[in-house]
Structure 1
Amino acid sequence: MSKMKERLDVFRHYRPLLEQLVMKDIKLKYRRSFLGYVWSILNPLTTMIIMVLVFSNMFRFDIVNYPVYLIIGQTIYGFVSESTTQAMYSITGNAALLKKTYVPKYIFTISKVTSSFVNTLFALGAMVIVFIVCHVRFQIYMLFIPVILLQVYIFCMGLGLLLAEGTVFFRDIQYIYAAFLTAWMYLTPIFYPINQLPFELMWIIKHFNPLYAYITQFRMIVLDGMFPDPRLILYGFAVSLLSLLIGTIIFMKKQDKFILYI
């Protein structure tokens, strides 16, 4: 118990540094860009428009409000992809600083996931625009959306810690994970309905792909106008907390050896 209290005290002591790192990442992303943070809205909006034009003509999906269906999946996947990829380089990318002074190493990983989360909050502006254009009705269940985003944030934090630790010792993870993200995108019903898949593959995705749970919760609220299935909520939180637990334990166990490999 005393050890946990000590770690919390250390985190509180370095929280200003965490805030500065998050602000730095956000400012650097659109530095020297004429439109600046507006790109947080334009990027997902432009991508969604292109994907709607392509997939709605190539494939005939019986999906009501397809642009809304698409941008929800695109936004959640985009956050997971960006945050975990940034987190993967959080330790190796700050090697010079870590060699000079003591800073809790997890601060850098947390900052990367958090800055990506803030960028995603900006990107929700694009989602709101699509909701308005597509005449989505705003209702009370939408107040649950922050809870869904919290599930995804916790999941990404755990996965980010795991990737950050692994990349220190095994640099090939960056190439393996890039390929994995591509496969993960296609194995998640982002731009197609899951009922188009064979039953066996559909069962695997529903039970072993956390992104399916997060995206489906979101779509149930927005497209179906109903509260998400409690089983999906429990599954989403369970996977998120398990990811955070595993990522934290492995990261903390190996962090003292980072200095020998960075």
Structure 2
Amino acid sequence: MINSLYTYFRGLVKYRWLLRQLIARDNKVKYKRSLLGYAWSILNPLLMMSVMTAVFSGMFRFDIPNFPIYFICGNLIFSFFQESTTMSMGSIISNAGLLKKVYIPKYIMPLSKTMSSFVNLWYSLVALFLILIVTRTRFQWTLLLIPLPLLYLFFFSFGIGLLLCVLATFFRDALYLYNVFITALMYLTPIFYPISAVPDVIKKIIYWNPLYYFVLMLRQLVLDGTLPTLKLHLVCISFVVISLTVGLTVFYKNQTKFFLYI
């Protein structure tokens, strides 16, 4: 199985030009006829941060030091996961015409969606640094390690995207059910509230949410200026390994059946 997967993904080098084209296409389509273009990748988290800060700092008064940074760290992680997995989910269906005409490794479709979202995520990081400057938050040396939780998140999201891609291709209803799931997941991820504010029963559910740990690692690097513990790294790596193993296995075993459903 491992040798088969190695041979399968070795073809990625051959089709890297196509991958670049697909990523560029996705980004062009996303900002087509937009006056501000890529600036929206920066403005969107800034606007969301402004609204959530006004609502939750004023109305609910959660005791969160530097709420703007706290929120934007969680929002960046969740927004990337939501966008990348949602786009990956319909990648085979939306590219059915291309896949029927020429041979292309099918995993390139969900991979291109995840990578295009990852490009947007790096643009969005500009918003994070702007808020750090505006709020006069101290720049910690641990900011240099920000790519680490983002890479964990990338591979985790890619694995989930592969799995969702198969489900959506075989069962179109999965596209609609996932919208409900992702909304529930947003509330079960401590983006705009501290985990100490929820009951113990909800905490146990949150602790099974992989996004919680990616968000926690990013906040430790940005807000606390501390290195994540070995335990936190192992938890994140475990979720990545499980996600990729399940996603790759399910995708690899079912890809030959896609033409019957697209």
TM bucket normalised to smaller: over 0.9
How many pairs does the alignment contain? 261
> What is the Cα deviation at residue 2 of structure 1?
5.5
Aligned pair in 2 of structure 1 residues 77, 2: CA closer, same or farther (>3 Å)? closer
| Equivalent residue number for residue 191 of structure 1 | 192
Q: Is the 2:76–2:121 Cα contact (8 Å) retained in structure 1?
A: yes
| Equivalent residue number for residue 34 of structure 1 | 35
Hey, what's the Cα distance between the residues in 2 that align with 1:33 and 1:175? 27
TM-score in terms of structure 2 length: 0.96
For 1:22-171, list aligned pairs within 5 A.
22-171=23-172
Hey, what's the Cα distance between the residues in 2 that align with 1:202 and 1:2? 41
| Equivalent residue number for residue 260 of structure 1 | 260
| Equivalent residue number for residue 19 of structure 1 | 20
> What is the Cα deviation at residue 4 of structure 1?
4.5
More divergent stretch after superposition (170-179 vs 6-15): 6-15
Alignment deviations for residues 91-137 of structure 1 (CA, whole Å, 9 cap, x no partner): 00011111111111110110000000100110111111111111221
Hey, what's the Cα distance between the residues in 1 that align with 2:182 and 2:11? 34
Hey, what's the Cα distance between the residues in 2 that align with 1:65 and 1:49? 13
> What is the Cα deviation at residue 7 of structure 1?
2.1
> What is the Cα deviation at residue 170 of structure 1?
0.5
> What is the Cα deviation at residue 240 of structure 1?
1.1
Alignment deviations for residues 73-94 of structure 1 (CA, whole Å, 9 cap, x no partner): 0110000000000000000001
| Equivalent residue number for residue 176 of structure 1 | 177
Q: Is the 1:217–1:232 Cα contact (8 Å) retained in structure 2?
A: yes
- Code of the residue aligned with 1:46 in structure 2: it is L
**1:240 to 2:225 alignment:** no
> What is the Cα deviation at residue 9 of structure 1?
3.4
| Equivalent residue number for residue 201 of structure 2 | 200
Hey, what's the Cα distance between the residues in 2 that align with 1:188 and 1:3? 36
- Code of the residue aligned with 1:63 in structure 2: it is I
| Equivalent residue number for residue 224 of structure 1 | 224
- Code of the residue aligned with 1:99 in structure 2: it is K
Q: Is the 2:141–2:225 Cα contact (8 Å) retained in structure 1?
A: no
Hey, what's the Cα distance between the residues in 2 that align with 1:140 and 1:243? 30
More divergent stretch after superposition (79-88 vs 25-34): 25-34
Hey, what's the Cα distance between the residues in 2 that align with 1:241 and 1:131? 33
TM-score in terms of structure 1 length: 0.96
> What is the Cα deviation at residue 17 of structure 1?
0.4
Hey, what's the Cα distance between the residues in 2 that align with 1:185 and 1:8? 32
| Equivalent residue number for residue 212 of structure 1 | 212
- Code of the residue aligned with 2:109 in structure 1: it is F
Aligned pair in 2 of structure 1 residues 245, 2: CA closer, same or farther (>3 Å)? closer
Hey, what's the Cα distance between the residues in 1 that align with 2:38 and 2:19? 21
SS in 2 for 1:184: helix
Aligned pair in 2 of structure 1 residues 213, 2: CA closer, same or farther (>3 Å)? closer
More divergent stretch after superposition (81-90 vs 142-151): 142-151
> What is the Cα deviation at residue 55 of structure 1?
1.3
More divergent stretch after superposition (136-145 vs 164-173): 136-145
- Code of the residue aligned with 1:256 in structure 2: it is T
Hey, what's the Cα distance between the residues in 2 that align with 1:229 and 1:191? 23
Structure 1 spans left out of the alignment, 5+ residues = none
Alignment deviations for residues 45-78 of structure 1 (CA, whole Å, 9 cap, x no partner): 1111011111112201111000000000011000
SS in 2 for 1:223: helix
Aligned pair in 2 of structure 1 residues 213, 167: CA closer, same or farther (>3 Å)? same
Q: Is the 1:90–1:112 Cα contact (8 Å) retained in structure 2?
A: yes
Hey, what's the Cα distance between the residues in 1 that align with 2:84 and 2:61? 32
Structure 2 spans left out of the alignment, 5+ residues = none
- Code of the residue aligned with 2:173 in structure 1: it is D
Aligned pair in 2 of structure 1 residues 91, 4: CA closer, same or farther (>3 Å)? closer
